[in-house]
Chain A
Amino acid sequence: MVGPLHYLFLAAALFALGALGVVVRRNALIVLMSIELMLNAVNLTFLTFSRFPLVRVAPTQTGFLSGHTAVFFVIAVAAAEAAVGLAIVIAVFRSRTTVNVDEFDSLKF
């Protein structure tokens, strides 16, 4: 029987992979993709708790579908973020001819 723990461990694994990707990968596109992975890991956590709530909520009560609602918001924000992020990566590539994040270090002292 697949319980909430399975989903949560999967989400944690995805989040950790995503975080690792953000920290270690050098290609800006891959970093963006890793961020998507982390967002979706969060989505999975939301849905898990929506499916297996800790406190029973009747369908008529406020909060019954709040997990699902949050997920839709996250997907919308992730889409916007992907659009803006890709646009920034392209703009940076045009001026620096590289997408290697190690070389994006002008924001310092």
Chain B
Amino acid sequence: MEVSWLYLIFLLPLLGAAVNGLLGRWLPKATLYAIALLVVLLSFCIGLFAWLQIARLEGEAAQLHQTVFTWFSVGSLKVDLGLAFDRLSGTLVLVVTGVGFLIHLYSVGYMEEDPAQWRYFAYLNLFVSMMLILVLADNLVAMFVGWEGVGLCSYLLIGFWYDDETKAYAGRKAFVVNRIGDFGFLIGIFVVYLYTGQVSFHALRLAPLSLGVASAAAALLFVGATGKSAQLPLYVWLPDAMAGPTPVSALIHAATMVTAGVYMVARLSFLYVQAPGVMAVVAIIGILTALIAALIGTSQMDIKKVLAYSTVSQLGYMFIGVGVGAFAAGTAHLITHAFFKACLFLCSGAVMHGLHGEQNMAKMGGLRRAGLKQTATTFFVATVAITGVFPISGFFSKDEILARALNTRAFDFLTAWNPEWTNVPVLRPLLVGLSQTRLTFLGSTVYVVGTLTALITSFYMWRCYRLTFEGEYRGPHEVHPHESPWVMTVPLWILAGLSILAALIVLPWHGLSFTWEHFTEGVFARPRGGAPAERLPQWLAFGIALAVAWTGYLVARWLYAPGLQGDEKLSSALPRLRRTLANALYVDAFYDWAVSKPLFATARGLWRVVDATLIDGLLINGSAQAVAAAGSALRRFQNGDVQRYAAVTAVGVLILVYVFLVRG
């Protein structure tokens, strides 16, 4: 259905950003807050209105569409700023604006003391606007605008306190790493356009693609997703992004922006199902990221770092979901994760607020009894949701992903190698062997590793909870922990409530009409390989999941009952492993050694040799010096003696006379 008001959804926050960004410095605080909050609330209301409309429609018709204007048209390429509000993008609009509004509200309390609030709220509004463009876009190019826009806002907000060198560096790092991914995304768009001549999702859905083109495009676009959604090997920016204000971490680096990659894969599900090999890669990257980030999360001391690695790990789960073809399960986890992870991050912000900026869990402890009762309770609810010790939202959405991974048939017809790819004599027998291996085991492997990761997740999240809120207070005595004002606790309660309520949409009984899977029927393409098999009875899968979650919980409870001694015990038992994990597997150091250092050395070499010596020395200063030398040689002729000039002139005239009169 074509409507004319969809653009208001992203335009309102953009207007708010413009007003606050241009005039905010001179506006009174109350007006600033009012503008920033109202625009987001209004676009939430419009989104809700639109959502209620499409919820009543069925099938293909359940979509609102608006072509705002033709952005550009070159040859056969015509790009509209088109918005499509269907059941997937519409629900995400509600999540972005809803969670976004709560975080704006929270920021009013959190950023109370900051002198540059106007800048903060302008960036935040701009981010919401860009995220809405990303979600609503009906073609790849418009999506790329949002994609880059959220990257820009992420950079601006990570480096919000730019006078701190490490924070400014974290912002730059996030931007550069994202740019690497975005490069792949851009090339992916080029490939899609080159072979289909289309960029809009609707046209691409119908366009026939060969396996090679679909695989290349899907793989390149997935490179973009690994950057934006912090997957291997480009996840390194997300833990550093915690340098930004905590509400920003909650909104951008947990709930919304980092899920853009998952959303993109789900949106392009019709493309990915045509490239089953790339889907296998997506699932493998997802499971590796989930496992590695969870492992690193067990050894971090900074509460925000724990949550950051937890985010990376949960994003890995989402990619497993979309990778095995369970697009509904992956996006459902995206939504439930948005609620409980935003809640966790905001709680960590409340803790930092109560402890005057302390982030080190070694200096926390006992905060539940020390006054942060509301924060502790909401953190507890969100931790239950993410670990799944009691079946609320996170339990069902994560286990749906794992069950789908186990039961998937998307890889059954895949082989690890194609014998036609090589004729190298020595390798050939080996590779022919590989080509006869079917990847049927991939789904089961993902399930086993994913379950192991769930165990680790449960362990590190309960470790985090116990170190922060239970035991004895370990901080300095002059810091008195205190609860946050109501503007900060109300969002916590709402998000905790949503973490519980969101369980409704991910209930695993397929007969229910309000579940996410039922609701998004027809939005996603079906993977090849046929309907999922039933490889494990549902009750057994839930039993395993519950057992795993409780094991993690009990181990954390037993180890960290006395407080920090649990860490010491672990360190003395596995010193090298702990040290490696605490240093995040030295991945940053490795990238520094393998990428940054050579790049800087090359740049320095180019600067010294090409720029300083060749261009500046030889071409610029050299030519100037040549002119100067010629000038000082020639100035000998101007000696001020008029008679000499006259004599030279006379000789010159004589020569001219000889040339033109006598010889001519």
A53-109 contacts to B, CB under 8 A, are: 101-102, 104-109
Q: Contact check, B641 vs A102: say whether CB atoms are below 8 A apart.
A: yes
**In the complex, which residues of chain B have a beta carbon less than 8 angstroms from the beta carbon of A105?**
639-641
In the assembled complex, B540 has its CB within 8 A of some CB on chain A: no
Q: How far is the CB of B652 from chain A (nearest CB, A)?
A: 13
**In the complex, which residues of chain B have a beta carbon less than 8 angstroms from the beta carbon of A24?**
643
Give the docked Cα–Cα distance between A104 and B647 (Å).
16
Interface size on B, residues (CB 8 A): 10
**In the complex, which residues of chain A have a beta carbon less than 8 angstroms from the beta carbon of B640?**
104-108
Q: Contact check, A22 vs B638: say whether CB atoms are below 8 A apart.
A: no
Contact with B along A17-30 (1 / 0, CB 8 A): 00100111000000
| Cβ 8 A contact of A19, one of B635, B641, B650 | B650
B609-664 contacts to A, CB under 8 A, are: 635, 638-643, 646-647, 650
**In the complex, which residues of chain B have a beta carbon less than 8 angstroms from the beta carbon of A19?**
646, 650
Q: Contact check, B646 vs A23: say whether CB atoms are below 8 A apart.
A: yes
A104-B642 in contact given A19-B650, A23-B647, A23-B650 (Cβ < 8 Å)? yes
Give the docked Cα–Cα distance between A102 and B642 (Å).
9
Across the A-B interface, how many residue pairs have beta carbons closer than 8 Å?
29
A15-49 contacts to B, CB under 8 A, are: 19, 22-24, 31
Closest to A24 in B: B643
**In the complex, which residues of chain A have a beta carbon less than 8 angstroms from the beta carbon of B639?**
105, 108
Contact with A along B330-366 (1 / 0, CB 8 A): 0000000000000000000000000000000000000
**In the complex, which residues of chain A have a beta carbon less than 8 angstroms from the beta carbon of B642?**
101, 104, 107
**In the complex, which residues of chain B have a beta carbon less than 8 angstroms from the beta carbon of A31?**
643
Q: How far is the CB of B513 from chain A (nearest CB, A)?
A: 97
Most buried by B among A23, A24, A101, A108: A23
Give the docked Cα–Cα distance between A19 and B647 (Å).
9
Give the docked Cα–Cα distance between A31 and B638 (Å).
20
| Cβ 8 A contact of A109, one of B635, B646, B650 | B635
Q: How far is the CB of A45 from chain B (nearest CB, A)?
A: 15
**In the complex, which residues of chain B have a beta carbon less than 8 angstroms from the beta carbon of A109?**
635, 638
Q: How far is the CB of A98 from chain B (nearest CB, A)?
A: 15
Give the docked Cα–Cα distance between A22 and B645 (Å).
11
Give the docked Cα–Cα distance between A101 and B646 (Å).
12
Give the docked Cα–Cα distance between A45 and B312 (Å).
103
Closest to B644 in A: A23
Q: How far is the CB of B627 from chain A (nearest CB, A)?
A: 15
Q: Contact check, B635 vs A22: say whether CB atoms are below 8 A apart.
A: no
Q: How far is the CB of A13 from chain B (nearest CB, A)?
A: 15
Give the docked Cα–Cα distance between A97 and B647 (Å).
26
Give the docked Cα–Cα distance between A4 and B640 (Å).
40
Q: How far is the CB of B158 from chain A (nearest CB, A)?
A: 60
Q: How far is the CB of A95 from chain B (nearest CB, A)?
A: 16
**In the complex, which residues of chain B have a beta carbon less than 8 angstroms from the beta carbon of A106?**
640
| Cβ 8 A contact of B643, one of A23, A107, A108 | A23
**In the complex, which residues of chain B have a beta carbon less than 8 angstroms from the beta carbon of A101?**
641-643
Q: How far is the CB of B643 from chain A (nearest CB, A)?
A: 6
Q: How far is the CB of B146 from chain A (nearest CB, A)?
A: 65
B267-319 contacts to A, CB under 8 A, are: none
**In the complex, which residues of chain A have a beta carbon less than 8 angstroms from the beta carbon of B647?**
23
Give the docked Cα–Cα distance between A106 and B643 (Å).
13
Give the docked Cα–Cα distance between A109 and B422 (Å).
77
**In the complex, which residues of chain A have a beta carbon less than 8 angstroms from the beta carbon of B635?**
109
Most buried by B among A106, A107, A109: A109
**In the complex, which residues of chain B have a beta carbon less than 8 angstroms from the beta carbon of A104?**
640-642
Give the docked Cα–Cα distance between A17 and B226 (Å).
94
Give the docked Cα–Cα distance between A23 and B641 (Å).
10
Give the docked Cα–Cα distance between A105 and B641 (Å).
5
| Cβ 8 A contact of B646, one of A22, A102, A107, A108 | A22
Give the docked Cα–Cα distance between A22 and B641 (Å).
12
**In the complex, which residues of chain A have a beta carbon less than 8 angstroms from the beta carbon of B643?**
22-24, 31, 101-102
Q: How far is the CB of A108 from chain B (nearest CB, A)?
A: 3
Most buried by A among B639, B640, B643, B650: B643
Give the docked Cα–Cα distance between A109 and B640 (Å).
8
Give the docked Cα–Cα distance between A104 and B643 (Å).
10
Closest to A102 in B: B641
Closest to B654 in A: A19
Q: Contact check, A108 vs B638: say whether CB atoms are below 8 A apart.
A: yes
Give the docked Cα–Cα distance between A19 and B639 (Å).
20
Give the docked Cα–Cα distance between A19 and B643 (Å).
10
Give the docked Cα–Cα distance between A19 and B657 (Å).
16
Give the docked Cα–Cα distance between A74 and B428 (Å).
106
Q: How far is the CB of B230 from chain A (nearest CB, A)?
A: 68
**In the complex, which residues of chain A have a beta carbon less than 8 angstroms from the beta carbon of B646?**
19, 22-23
Give the docked Cα–Cα distance between A109 and B647 (Å).
19
**In the complex, which residues of chain B have a beta carbon less than 8 angstroms from the beta carbon of A23?**
643, 646-647, 650
Give the docked Cα–Cα distance between A106 and B641 (Å).
8
Q: How far is the CB of A29 from chain B (nearest CB, A)?
A: 14
Closest to B639 in A: A108
Most buried by A among B640, B642, B646, B647: B642
A-B contact pairs, 17 of them (CB 8 A): A19-B650, A22-B643, A23-B643, A23-B646, A23-B650, A24-B643, A31-B643, A101-B641, A102-B643, A104-B640, A104-B641, A104-B642, A105-B640, A105-B641, A108-B639, A108-B640, A109-B635
A-to-B contact residues, CB < 8 Å = 19, 22-24, 31, 101-102, 104-109
Which 4 A-B pairs have CB atoms at the shortest separation, nearest pair first? A108-B640, A105-B640, A109-B635, A23-B647
Known: A101-B641, A104-B640, A107-B642. 6 other contacts (CB 8 A): A19-B646, A23-B646, A31-B643, A107-B640, A108-B639, A109-B635
